[in-house]
Amino acid sequence: MRITKQPRAYRMRQRAELVEQTRQRITEATARLHTTIGPAATSISGIAEEAGVTRVTVYRHFPDLDVLFQACRAHWREQHPPPDARAWPAIPGLADRARHALTELYGWYREHAESLYPIYRDMTSMPRSSQDEIRATNAWLGDQLVDGHTPKGDAGRRLRAVARHLVDYPTWRSLAIEHDLGDDGAANVGVRLLTAMSSVPPDEGRGRRASSRRSAAGGP
């Protein structure tokens, strides 16, 4: 170890690249395991083996598991881009938007049903940070679905709650797969529910509060 002020200039051009490749292999191995056996059954040893690397190497690259999990999720989503929910609010009618959005989203869920399954199943065995990230993403999705259609009071809160419930992967799975409605069937249920909810009497929710029009709701 050097204690000199200028500890010798060392740039690592190609070196850095190799290092990055190793990091990638670890990240990808983790993603592969998370989407098959699931996070709960994924051990450091397993990751190392899957990546063709020593356990020590994994520890070196990711002393903090949270970082690995985040990198893993980021990598996977980059390779499997979800529908662009930012475009949803452009569709004015709630029913139209819901039909479009849910069809799009449920299609994506269907496409990656197997991969996403272990993730949601093992949610609680993941670090808090990852859980929060997933939950935030989901909440944002729901908000995009009803943005501009949520009145100020409880009616708005209820509609948003239902929207968030509908965009959740487990909800899709329950409707479309477990109860055999299929993607279209599940989407129709969602549309029906949202339109039905948007005309709920104001006293039907958690408390009582008047309903008005207009609202905003933004993304994270």
Q: Does 92 help bind a copy of itself (rule: CB under 8 A)?
A: no
Contacted by 53, from DNA, a copy of itself, none: CB < 5 to 8 Å by type: DNA
Q: Does 136 bind a copy of itself (CB under 8 A)?
A: yes
Kindly state the smallest distance separating residue 160's Cβ from a copy of itself, in Å: 8
Contacts of residues 164-170 at CB distance under 8 Å and 24 or more positions apart, as own/partner, are 164/138, 164/139, 166/98, 166/102, 166/142, 166/190, 166/193, 166/194, 167/101, 167/102, 167/105, 167/138, 167/141, 167/142, 168/138, 168/142, 169/109, 169/116, 169/120, 169/138, 170/120
Which of the ranges 8-16, 24-32, 45-53, 207-215 carries the binding residues for a copy of itself, by CB under 8 A?
A: 207-215
Q: How far is the C-alpha of 101 from the C-alpha of 96, rounded, in Å?
A: 8
CB of 85 vs a copy of itself, minimal distance in Å = 5
Q: What is the DSSP letter of 220?
A: -
Residue 129 or 215: the one with the smaller Cβ distance to a copy of itself is 215
User: Contact between 127 and a copy of itself (CB under 8 A)?
Assistant: no
Q: How far is CA 14 from the centre of its chain?
A: 34
Interaction with a copy of itself in 154-173: which residues (CB under 8 A)?
157-158, 161-162, 164-165, 168, 170-171
| Best CA proximity match to 187, nearest among 179, 195, 176 | 176
- Token pair listed for 102: 């849910």
Residue 66 · residue 107 · CB < 8 Å: no
Q: Which does 5 bind (CB under 5 to 8 A by kind): a copy of itself, DNA, none?
A: none
Segment 107 to 126, residues that bind a copy of itself, using CB under 8 A:
107-108, 121, 124
Token representation of residue 205:
């929710």
Interacting residue ranges for a copy of itself, rule: CB under 8 A: 40, 77-78, 81-87, 100, 103-104, 107-108, 121, 124, 136-137, 140-141, 157-158, 161-162, 164-165, 168, 170-171, 174-175, 178-185, 188-189, 192-193, 195-197, 200, 204-209, 211-220
